Amino acid sequence: MITSVQNSRRLMLAGICLLLVCILDYLTPLHIGGIGIFYMASIPIVMNESKKTIIYIAALATVLIISNYIYFSPASFDSVWILPINRIISVLGLWVAAIIGINYKHLQNKLSNQRAAYTQTLNDVIFINSHKVRNPVTNIVKIAELMDDEHLTAQNIKEMVFYLRKSAEDLDIATREMTDTICKEENNHDILSLSLYLRN
């Protein structure tokens, strides 16, 4: 619910921005070039929206730029070639901003997914450590404490060695599983490091 309200606000703000720039573009004398580039201001507003929304806003801005040129440019202007070039530059700048916005959104989603995978890996490692590593270690410690008893028989020692070996094997399996889990998601660490670097 909150997200849809925020999306609506952003879309409304982008629409208002486009309308204001369109009016400014209409009211600005033709010899002042570059007003059309202000249509790009609508792209950062919808940067967190979907790819489709960014494309729609860019397309709407393109239509406004072209319609402002077609319907509101005077027939008599000294440098006729300036107007179309100005509009072409505006459209190109707008679509470059839209492509940057789309790529930014894609990168943001990718980093978010990798961060989630990295967090899941950490949770898996914590689980392995607390459940699968801790039990064998506790068993080994207890067996070592029992071996201090002077009244042990050969049969008792044989049983303790068996359980000690079993605990060591369980510990080996758990540490291998932990290593595999960490290595499987090793690339996520590099991506998160890059993400943190880019934020600073």
CA distance linking residue 4 with residue 11, whole number of Å: 10
**Helix/strand/coil percent split, the chain, to 5:** 85, 0, 15
The pLDDT score that the predictor gives to residue 190 is: 56
The pLDDT score that the predictor gives to residue 134 is: 86
pLDDT tens-place string over residues 101-132: 888 888 888 888 888 888 888 888 888 878 88
The pLDDT score that the predictor gives to residue 146 is: 84
Listed as ranges, residues in the chain with pLDDT below 70 are 1-5, 30-34, 72-80, 185-200
Provide the token pair at 47: 């940067």
- Count Cβ atoms below 10 Å from residue 155 Cβ, excluding itself: 8
pTM score of the predicted model: 0.60
The pLDDT score that the predictor gives to residue 11 is: 86
Percent of the chain with pLDDT over 90: 8
The pLDDT score that the predictor gives to residue 119 is: 84
pLDDT tens-place string over residues 72-94: 666 555 566 777 788 888 889 89
Give the Å distances, CA to CA, from 149 to 140, 152, 153, 161, 164: 15, 6, 10, 14, 16
Closest by CA to 18, choosing from 44, 47, 40, 51, is 40
The pLDDT score that the predictor gives to residue 59 is: 92
Closest by CA to 147, choosing from 136, 133, 163, is 163
- Quick check: 68 and 40 in contact, CB under 8 A? no
- Quick check: 168 and 136 in contact, CB under 8 A? yes
Of the CA atoms within 13 Å of residue 180, those in its CB half-sphere come to 7
The pLDDT score that the predictor gives to residue 187 is: 54
